[in-house]
Amino acid sequence: MKRPLAAILVLLALCSAVPAAAALFRAASVEEAARSSDAVARGTVVRMASRYAPGSGRIVTDVEIAVSSAWKGSPGERVTVTVPGGQVGGVGQYVDAAPVFAVGEEVVVFLARRPGAWLVNGLAMGKWTIAGASATPAVHAEDQRYRPLAAGEAPIAPMATAELERRVREAR
């Protein structure tokens, strides 16, 4: 009698399993993101290369961006940001909160300087895709945990590219 009960319990446990929830971000304003970043740059992704991070089994991807304009700081004419995840040979690693890039994509990135590397500040919260006059963040409103923002500050949400640039440049 114990075997059927154990089998039923295992079956119930498997049936009740739910997939892990996607990353949930603490809501922030564009101005907060700009203030906490060392640089903010607009540009086009020109090259991507995945590799194993030294001393670990983790995969990272180096994303080279040709900078068309720096809205804050001095990232240079080209900036390489390192993001978690990628594919090396037949091995892939996906990191839910990490921004995803594509060669040829026009982006705005909020950057944090670390010894020897630039990172996207706030992971996916710090990457926006530009399409025409529109800027769309990599993180959607439903992936952000609500909290009140300072008066006059804009949440990280789709907006006109010119408005995003104005808010970044005026952030104090």
Burial code of 19-52, b = ≥16 C-beta within 10 A, e = fewer?
eeeeeebebbbbbbbbeebbbbbbbebeebebee
pTM of the model: 0.82
User: With a cut of 50, which residues of the chain have pLDDT below it?
Assistant: 1, 5-21
Collapsed DSSP state (helix, strand, coil) of residue 169: helix
- The residue type at 22: A
What pLDDT does residue 15 have?
A: 42
- Bridge-based pairing state of the strands 144-145 and 25-26: parallel
What pLDDT does residue 1 have?
A: 46
Distance CA 127, CA 121 (A): 8
Q: Domain map of the chain by residue range?
A: 22-170
Q: What is the pLDDT of residues 35-73, one digit of tens each?
A: 999 999 999 999 999 999 988 889 999 999 999 999 999
Match domain 22-170 to its CATH number in 1.20.930, 2.40.50, 3.30.2420, 1.10.3470.
2.40.50
